Each structure stands twice: as structure tokens, then as C-alpha cells.
């Protein structure tokens, strides 16, 4: 698929980006009061005056443009998702389609590394093997797996590369914006119970997975992806072998007949189309476990730097994050009328304790109502009712803070070669009409 030039690339040089987007160099004046010409150019570009223009940072890409030109290409089984790649299939959900507390299957993002297994919904010959550093190797068909105690939970799954499109210099890979995330309800069995039945050896360190997905080369001997988690995370009672999604058998796109659901960690460890769980006496070394895959520098690095494999660490807990689901970016409201801003917030293995929004480019912040999660590892609904003070162009910035005090940054956090863990604040544009 042809890759479009992203607006982030225009802003490698903030002043030049302003010149390209607005037709003149206005960026330098944005550090303080905007001159008349600059303000006129920017107002014309966004279609309204900008009441809080004095607070706009230099080189800020207006939210009105940041999500422009992103069509909702259709997948037969999905509702309005944007396709980033068709081989393998990867598609993200526009933020306004993530408003449900439980993400419908038709609106849940898709992240594949290979092609789907050919079995479709046929269980003929399917078994799950559990072997390695265990006392008793297991071979389980679906009825045998279902004999373990059932467990259910709503769980946020988020791609480690969600937000990759925001990195500059650009990072290679699917250019996810904000929509590689969803919160579905999963039912299955606890991975810990299955491992207990196998009898984990004292030297067990990691559990790696293997799936039935097909390598893009078509070679059945090649493994597409085989990642894993430390034995402690595998034995966490919230880690599941899921058999159902939103009350129905797992759809083919989401791992039928069985997948891992590992809460709070990048979705790449929640392997789909399971056929084997290998208990290891060392850190798992399957495909996509090696650097730089799903690893970030141990220390901050200069953007664009080469990072030695030994100077990178495996991504584990995902960072605090939030999304604005309503109104849709580019929406309009009449002056004097209130508007409800709402969305979801989550934070890896933690809970979110506070949610704030700003209408004046981060100069001031307003506290939102924040609901408790449905269960641990589900996202949390937040909302606020407000009335913009005057006609014009506004940006709504959303900032979550978790129970350890970690707060979303205003800009893209530390650069890394693969563009992981971008938890910068989500922004939308809102125009107030007289």
C-alpha cells in the first residue's frame, strides 16, 4: 500500500512546518503573542479565530489537521476501521468509534504479523500443547481446556506501537495514530491453572507462545511471531487463555479458537491462534523477541540515533494513556451552548486516579468526572460538561494521571527506533460558532 506523507514529517523544522501549512513563517511568533499577519493566516487555515492563540506552542500541528485525510477503509468484518496494511492485515479504529465501554468486535483494532490460519471456524485437529520446563507435558483439545475453571474480564489490549505516527524522525512500521487499542470482554481459563496442571519446574523463567498464523512467505516451517512473558506474569491470575470475545467464540481475526490475554502489557504478548505454550528456563528467544522488536532504549537517546541491541530493554508495562471519543474532532458547537467531552483512560497494570482537559493549549486544566473501571485492567470512562467562552477555534487536550503519579506528556515521549510507547495527550479540534 502507498504510504502517504504524514503531517508530522512537515514539522521536523517547526518554523518550516508553519510555512508549509499556513503559507508563511508564523512559528517563531507563537512563542509569545501572535502578530496580526500570523494570527490571520492561522485563523484562515483552521476556519475561525483562535481565542487562546497566545498559548499555542511553536510548531504545534493543529488538531484540525492532525487527523485529517484518514479515510475509514472497510474490512468486511469491521465497522469503519482504517487499513494501514493489507499484507498482513492491520487496521486501527478512529477514536470516535471507541466510545463504547466494551469495544464491539466490529470496532476492535486488528494487528497481525502474518496471514490468518486457514482453519476458519473448524476445530478439526486443533490441540494446545504445554511443554518445556514442566513435570507433565499437556495436550489439550477444546473440551479439555474448558474443564478448567472459567474466568471473565474486560481487558484493554493496546499495540506497543500505538501512536507511532507521532514520532519524528519517523519510525518504521505501521503508522498507528491513536486507534490501536480496544477494551473487549474475554472469557476463558486462567493460564496459571493450566500451568499448575502441567507442574511448572523450579527453573522456569519464561513462557513463550506459538500460533497457527501463516508466514507471509507461505513457508509452513517459518514462525511468524513467538513472544512471551516472565513466569511471574504468566502465573498472574488475571492472565487468560481466552476462548470467547464479547460473549461469542473468538472471531478468526482475533485468534480463534484460543488466544492469550495478558493485561497491561503490549498486545504482542497476547498471542493469537494458540497451538503451543513453551515453558522456558531462560528468556524466550522466538521471532520478534530480539532487539529492536518490542524493545526501547534503557536510557534516553537523541532522536534518530542507532541504539545497540544490548542497550535496549523488553517492553513490559504499558504507560498511562487516554482517548477522546466524543465529540469527533472537527465538531462544531454554538456559542453559549455546553458540550460534553468524554472518553476513556487506562494505565497498564495500574488504575487511573485523575483526568483533566485543557481548552487553552495547556495553560489551565479542568478536572473531569472519572468512573471506576468495570474490573481491574478495563479502561475507565471520563467526562466533563463545559461551555467554551467565545466563538472561535479551540483544541481539547486530554491528560490522564495514574495512581503512581505518572502523567501523560504533552508531546511525544522519548524517541526510540521502532516508535513504541507514545502516550502523548490526545487532542481534538472544536469550532464554536456565533
Condensed to tens digits (0 to 9), the pLDDT of residues 235-280 reads 999 999 999 999 999 999 999 999 999 999 999 999 999 999 999 9
Mean pLDDT of 111-117: 95
The lowest-confidence range among 10-14, 176-180, 225-229, 405-409 is 10-14
Mean pLDDT of 390-401: 96
Same domain, 139 and 274: yes
User: Contact at 8 Å (CB) between 364 and 358?
Assistant: yes
Same domain, 268 and 130: yes
Give the CATH number of the domain where residue 338 resides.
2.60.40.650
The answer as to whether 334 is a domain residue is yes
Sheet with 366-367, strands from edge to edge, namely: 331-334, 427-433, 392-402, 352-358, 366-367
Dump strand ranges (E) for 87-141: 89-92, 110-111, 128-132, 138-140
Same domain, 125 and 271: yes
Q: What b/e readout covers 55-65, taking b as 16+ CB neighbours within 10 angstroms? A: bbeebbbbbbb
Give the domain extent around 149: 82-314
Mean pLDDT of 122-133: 95
Mean pLDDT of 392-415: 96
Query: What backbone torsions phi and psi does residue 159 show, to the nearest 5 degrees?
Result: -65, 140
Q: What is the percentage of the chain residues whose pLDDT exceeds 90?
A: 79
Report the C-alpha gap between 15 and 10 in whole angstroms: 10
pLDDT of residue 23: 45
pLDDT for 220 beyond 50: yes
Q: Find the helix or strand (DSSP H, E) in which 83 lies.
A: strand 82-86
Domain stops at, among 291, 314, 337: 314
| Lookup result for grid cell 505501521 | 174
Domain stops at, among 314, 344, 364: 314
202-190-184-113 Cα dihedral, nearest 10 degrees? 50
pLDDT for 7 beyond 70: no
**Between 151 and 69, residue with greater pLDDT:** 151
Mean pLDDT of 162-183: 96
Own/partner pairs, 127-130, CB within 8 angstroms, 24+ separation: 127/275, 128/241, 128/258, 128/274, 128/275, 128/276, 128/277, 129/275, 129/276, 129/277, 130/194, 130/195, 130/198, 130/276, 130/277, 130/279
Domain count, the chain: 3
The answer as to whether 1 is a domain residue is no
Query: What backbone torsions phi and psi does residue 119 show, to the nearest 5 degrees?
Result: -70, -20
Same domain, 214 and 277: yes
The answer as to whether 68 is a domain residue is no
Mean pLDDT of 85-101: 95
The answer as to whether 22 is a domain residue is yes
Amino acid at each position: 500500500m502507498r504510504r502517504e506523507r504524514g503531517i508530522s514529517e512537515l514539522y521536523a523544522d517547526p518554523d518550516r512546518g508553519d510555512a508549509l501549512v499556513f503559507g508563511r513563517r508564523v512559528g517563531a511568533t507563537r512563542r509569545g503573542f501572535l502578530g496580526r499577519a500570523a494570527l490571520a493566516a492561522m485563523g484562515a487555515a483552521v476556519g475561525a479565530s483562535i481565542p487562546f492563540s497566545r498559548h499555542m506552542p511553536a510548531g504545534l500541528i493543529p488538531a484540525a489537521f492532525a487527523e485529517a485525510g484518514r479515510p475509514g477503509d472497510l474490512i468486511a468484518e469491521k465497522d469503519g476501521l482504517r487499513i494501514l496494511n493489507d499484507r498482513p492485515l492491520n487496521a486501527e479504529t478512529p477514536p470516535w468509534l471507541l466510545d463504547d465501554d466494551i469495544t464491539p468486535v466490529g470496532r476492535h483494532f486488528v494487528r497481525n504479523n502474518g496471514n490468518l490460519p486457514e482453519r476458519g471456524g473448524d476445530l478439526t485437529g486443533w490441540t494446545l500443547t504445554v511443554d518445556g520446563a514442566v513435570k507433565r507435558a499437556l495436550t489439550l483439545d477444546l473440551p479439555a481446556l474448558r474443564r478448567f475453571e472459567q474466568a471473565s474480564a474486560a481487558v484493554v489490549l493496546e499495540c506497543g506501537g500505538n501512536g507511532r505516527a507521532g514520532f519524528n524522525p519517523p519510525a518504521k512500521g505501521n503508522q498507528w495514530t491513536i486507534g490501536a487499542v480496544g477494551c473487549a470482554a474475554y472469557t476463558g481459563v486462567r493460564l496459571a491453572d493450566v500451568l499448575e496442571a502441567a507442574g511448572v519446574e523450579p527453573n522456569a523463567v519464561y513462557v513463550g507462545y506459538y500460533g497457527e498464523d501463516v508466514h507471509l512467505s507461505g513457508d509452513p516451517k517459518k514462525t511468524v511471531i513467538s513472544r512471551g512473558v516472565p513466569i511471574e506474569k504468566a502465573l498472574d491470575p488475571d492472565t487468560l487463555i481466552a476462548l470467547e470475545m464479547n460473549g461469542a467464540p473468538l472471531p478468526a481475526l482475533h485468534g480463534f479458537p484460543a488466544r492469550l490475554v495478558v493485561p497491561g502489557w503490549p498486545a504482542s504478548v497476547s498471542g493469537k491462534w494458540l497451538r503451543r505454550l513453551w515453558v522456558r528456563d531462560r528468556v524466550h528467544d522466538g521471532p520478534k523477541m530480539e532487539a529492536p522488536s518490542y524493545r526501547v532504549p534503557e536510557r534516553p537517546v537523541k532522536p534518530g540515533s542507532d541504539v545497540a541491541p544490548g542497550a535496549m530493554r523488553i517492553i513490559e508495562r504499558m504507560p498511562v494513556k487516554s482517548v477522546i471519543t466524543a465529540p469527533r474532532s472537527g465538531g462544531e458547537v454554538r456559542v453559549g451552548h455546553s458540550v460534553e467531552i468524554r472518553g476513556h483512560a487506562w494505565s497498564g497494570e495500574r488504575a487511573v486516579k485523575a483526568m483533566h482537559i485543557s481548552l487553552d493549549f495547556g495553560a489551565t486544566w479542568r478536572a473531569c468526572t472519572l468512573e471506576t473501571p468495570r474490573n481491574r485492567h478495563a479502561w475507565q470512562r471520563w467526562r466533563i460538561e463545559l461551555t467554551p467562552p467565545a466563538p472561535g477555534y479551540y483544541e481539547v487536550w486530554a491528560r490522564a494521571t495514574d495512581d503512581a503519579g505518572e502523567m501523560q506528556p504533552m508531546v511525544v515521549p522519548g524517541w526510540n527506533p521502532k516508535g513504541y510507547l507514545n502516550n502523548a495527550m490526545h487532542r481534538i479540534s472544536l469550532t464554536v460558532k456565533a
